Amino acid sequence: MKTITCISLTAAMLSTSAFAAETISTIPSNSATVTNYYKQAVYDPKENKIGNIDDVLIDKEGRITALVIGVGGFLGVGEKDVAVPFSAVKGTKKNDKWWLTLNETKDSLKSATGFKYNKETTSWSVEKK
């Protein structure tokens, strides 16, 4: 009976360690929090507000690929969601606040392809006109 108990305990310990979560002990130095982008305002080079970031798109390898920006409209009504490459948005500190700029204007983005979010599939697709 003792042998069966020891074997059972050893098997339980081995199976538990096999399912242990993978963690890291330090945060990589080149990391940034998604909070610096998600729901933040984006400005053109002349400091005019373009819109707010509505979503941050990540590929299967964990790299941020694009930002979805809501442009136009008033209080969300008539707003159009457009996607821009993550690399196109530049972030800096300005007056102790995270400041995002894009080398585009609100008007140029209004004419860009619009996207619509599907809650059922949790994905973005081209908005049909």
Q: How far apart are CA 9 and CA 13, in angstroms?
A: 6
Q: Is residue 46 part of a domain?
A: yes
Residue 3, pLDDT score: 55
Q: Is residue 24 part of a domain?
A: no
pTM recorded for the entire structure:
0.77
Residue 42: both structure tokens together: 């984006």
Q: Is residue 62 part of a domain?
A: yes
Q: Is residue 26 part of a domain?
A: no
Q: Is residue 114 part of a domain?
A: yes
For 86, the domain range is 34-126
Using pLDDT thresholds of 50, 70 and 90, give the confidence band for residue 97. confident
DSSP one-letter code for 35: G
The enclosing domain of 60 has a CATH number of: 2.30.30.240
DSSP one-letter code for 5: H
Q: Is residue 10 part of a domain?
A: no
Number of domains in the chain: 1
Q: What is the pLDDT of residues 6-51, one digit of tens each?
A: 455 555 555 555 566 788 899 888 888 888 889 999 999 999 999 9
Q: Is residue 25 part of a domain?
A: no
Q: Is residue 18 part of a domain?
A: no
